[in-house]
Structure 1
Amino acid sequence: MAFKILIFSALFVCLLSVVSGQRTPTISHITQEQIRDIGGQVDLDCSVHYANEYPVIWVKYDRLKTTESIPLSTNAGLIIRDSRFSLRFDDATATYTLSIKDIQENDAGWYQCQVLISITNRITAEVELQVRRPPIISDNSTRSIVASEGESAQMECYAGGFPPPKITWRRENNAILPTGGSIYRGNVIKIPSVHKEDRGTYYCVAENGVGKGARRNINLEIEFAPVVTVPRPRLGQALQYDMDLECHVEAYPPPAIIWLKDEIQLSNNQHYRISHFATADEFTDTTIRVITIEKRQYGVFTCKAQNKLGSDEGKVELFETIIPVCPPACGRASYGDAASIAPSPATLAALLGVYIVHVVRRVFNSRH
């Protein structure tokens, strides 16, 4: 409504000027482009000549025409009711100064000074106010990605802010990127053929000199077939004692793991106890404890891992010894510890007795 009143006022003034033969108004000066931080202040000047009888207004102007222009002032008075805005008029220089304090992000845009000659004729000049804004990573950026080994993978990162942020990529612990080097610059990072070593956390960092910048953690997960390794392929233990057989499995997605002996799948019972320990999404340690070993339990055990991309297996041979292996026979430290543990005197005496009995049997059998 206020804008329509301004138009009719301009038309009326225009008719008066025709009668009086007044000179055509001109805008002699407009403030150049302004760049400010959020919370700052800016003064926009518009100097006019021969415009005493014409309305002079400031308008928030949309160059893309997606929204209507917003009238802010007319001559020396404000139209908008916002305490952050004020208007001053210097009669000596015929300058209208629009001031904005506590600048907000939505104050950015084009401001137009207009002298209304008629409904269809106006003199204009524009100034752009740009507001420095810290980077904000856009929602259309990659959050996580899963790819099978050998496939291509692409991660994207975009950010808003002013000045336009620059994007850099890093890996966790500054590991080498698949593209080479520890830093990659650009919105898109492409890996032509991924390998399981490429999996992990990637950092997309957006910086423009305003604030601390922004970062997004992007998890790259690689699906790959199981890889089974056996830390000790041959293990010995005496009859009637326990022994732990162990396999390490690396795979993603997590595989199904089974233990076999003589092509028969084993399960938890009074003879065997199977355990799986997931140390990470792609790492699993699997152990089978052979309980109170009997003669028939000596031989080759197979641990087999399988997921949708393939399978792998490892073999552990359990053979008979005369002296019990400690641990786990001693019931002390867990199997695999680097440090050796001395058995107690009672244990030594028991082991010596077993050894003497075994020697006597061999001597007796050799004589008969």
Structure 2
Amino acid sequence: MFSKMINFYGLFVVFTINLVFSQRTPTISHITQKPIKDIGGTAELTCSVLYAMEYPVLWLKIDRGKVTEPVVLSTGSTLIIKDSRFSLRQDIDSTSYTLQIKDIQETDAGFYRCQVVLGLNNKISAEVELEVRLPPIISDNSTRSLVVNEGQPVKLECYAGGFPSPRISWRRENNAILPTGGSIYRGNILKIPAITKEDRGTYYCVAENGVGRGARRNIAVEVEFAPVISVPKPRLGQALQYDMDLECHIEAYPPPAIVWLNNGITLSNNQHYRISHFATADEFTDTTIRVITIEKRQYGDYICKATNVLGTAESVVNLYETIIPVCPPACGQQSSHQKSSSIAATSVNLTILISAYLYYVHLNF
């Protein structure tokens, strides 16, 4: 009789305990705090629940900002997604469900939801965000190249994605000084209030966040400006019947049209003049005019003139007469008249030498 009463009370206690637990509302007692992982790493997301033995527990992937439905990854102890990188582990004692993701990819970043389904319209859930470190990638809406007129305001923009958020800095080629001063400027936007031709060149946008080697974009800035002419030797002398080279150095962009003038007449290549242009870079041109076998009428001022869409510039080179030939370009050069005179002089000298020799022979015999 006593043993029967013990069995009865034992069953009553078990029944009461089950009744109490079955009446408790399921609760998510723990979920992993926000993990930050590198690409290729492994993440474990753990969700612990209480009083939910009779209810399905799900892991879902949430794409916030998108209209797509959440992707169900697992239910209870069963993994639904067919991806070898994912696995599920259930701990009966702690009633926890651990979702493991190996070889993490960029697309794995986002929100993961642990959800207990109590009914058709009755669910409890908790979320954890998985963040994946990503090297910087410079965005397409960043400046690629610019062509501007001198004096215009300029704005160079650079934006980059990645995690953590990249820091942006600006540099110039060969660490030249930036228009803002200094060799480095930090910020997404580099502003130049009024650009000059000295500001043209290559600018580097550098994005860094401590992941990988960072990213860099080269931005070519072309500045269009009116021609500027410099003359190495504004006055040059040369003797008659010799050649002389007159030079101008021109800086302009776009490249200019170049002409040489004398007494208001545009000169061209002929038996009296030879004109040459040498472009050392897009904006630098050296031009030379050779005055061939100078005649008296060719002395005077020669105008070097350069013109592009932004303006015109000109400089004067004066050619004057000298008695002694200037070398170069007259080194070893003789006119035909001088060559004839030299030959005649040589003939006379030879005649004198022969006569002297014959006289000497006559005296000795």
> TM-score normalised to the size of structure 2?
0.84
The equivalent of 1:146 in structure 2 is 147
The equivalent of 1:212 in structure 2 is 213
Task: Look up the SS of the partner of 1:240 in the other structure.
Answer: coil
Task: Look up the SS of the partner of 2:107 in the other structure.
Answer: helix
- 1:227-274 CA-to-partner distances (Å, cap 9, x unmatched) read 111000111112222111100001111111110000100111111111
Query: Is the contact between residue 262 and residue 301 of structure 2 (CA under 8 Å) also seen in structure 1?
Result: yes
Alignment of structure 1 residues 24-173 onto 2, 5 Å: 24-173=25-174
- 1:283-326 CA-to-partner distances (Å, cap 9, x unmatched) read 11111111121221111100000111111111111112222221
CA distance, structure 2, for counterparts of residue 103 and residue 135 of structure 1? 17
CA distance, structure 1, for counterparts of residue 221 and residue 172 of structure 2? 10
Name stretches of at least 5 consecutive residues in structure 1 with no aligned partner. 1-16, 333-345, 358-368
- 1:60-84 CA-to-partner distances (Å, cap 9, x unmatched) read 0123243221111111111111000
The equivalent of 1:321 in structure 2 is 322
Query: Is the contact between residue 22 and residue 51 of structure 2 (CA under 8 Å) also seen in structure 1?
Result: no
Q: Report the RMSD for the aligned CA atoms in angstroms.
A: 2.1
| Structure 1 runs (4+) greater than 4 angstroms displaced | none
Match of 2:170, as an amino acid?
W
Task: Look up the SS of the partner of 1:161 in the other structure.
Answer: strand
Greater radius of gyration (CA): 2
The equivalent of 1:270 in structure 2 is 271
Task: Look up the SS of the partner of 2:247 in the other structure.
Answer: strand
The CA deviation at 1:190 is 0.8
CA distance, structure 2, for counterparts of residue 74 and residue 139 of structure 1? 41
CA distance, structure 2, for counterparts of residue 327 and residue 86 of structure 1? 86
Name stretches of at least 5 consecutive residues in structure 2 with no aligned partner. 1-17, 346-365
The equivalent of 1:23 in structure 2 is 24
Structure 1, 234-243 or 100-109: larger mean CA deviation: 234-243
Task: Look up the SS of the partner of 1:296 in the other structure.
Answer: helix
Match of 1:118, as an amino acid?
G
The equivalent of 1:238 in structure 2 is 239
Query: Is the contact between residue 231 and residue 317 of structure 2 (CA under 8 Å) also seen in structure 1?
Result: yes
CA distance, structure 1, for counterparts of residue 66 and residue 245 of structure 2? 76
Task: Look up the SS of the partner of 2:119 in the other structure.
Answer: coil
CA distance, structure 1, for counterparts of residue 285 and residue 121 of structure 2? 78
Percent identity over the alignment is 71
Task: Look up the SS of the partner of 2:121 in the other structure.
Answer: coil
CA distance, structure 1, for counterparts of residue 332 and residue 141 of structure 2? 57
The CA deviation at 1:331 is 6.6
- CA gap of 1:57–1:323, structure 2 versus 1, over 3 A, is same
> TM-score normalised to the size of structure 1?
0.84
CA distance, structure 1, for counterparts of residue 81 and residue 294 of structure 2? 91
Alignment of structure 1 residues 177-188 onto 2, 5 Å: 177-188=178-189
Task: Look up the SS of the partner of 1:117 in the other structure.
Answer: strand
CA distance, structure 2, for counterparts of residue 197 and residue 49 of structure 1? 71
CA distance, structure 2, for counterparts of residue 65 and residue 170 of structure 1? 38
Match of 1:238, as an amino acid?
A
Task: Look up the SS of the partner of 1:202 in the other structure.
Answer: strand
CA distance, structure 2, for counterparts of residue 131 and residue 61 of structure 1? 15
CA distance, structure 1, for counterparts of residue 167 and residue 306 of structure 2? 44
Task: Look up the SS of the partner of 2:64 in the other structure.
Answer: coil
The CA deviation at 1:21 is 5.0
Match of 2:34, as an amino acid?
E
Task: Look up the SS of the partner of 1:29 in the other structure.
Answer: strand
The CA deviation at 1:30 is 0.1
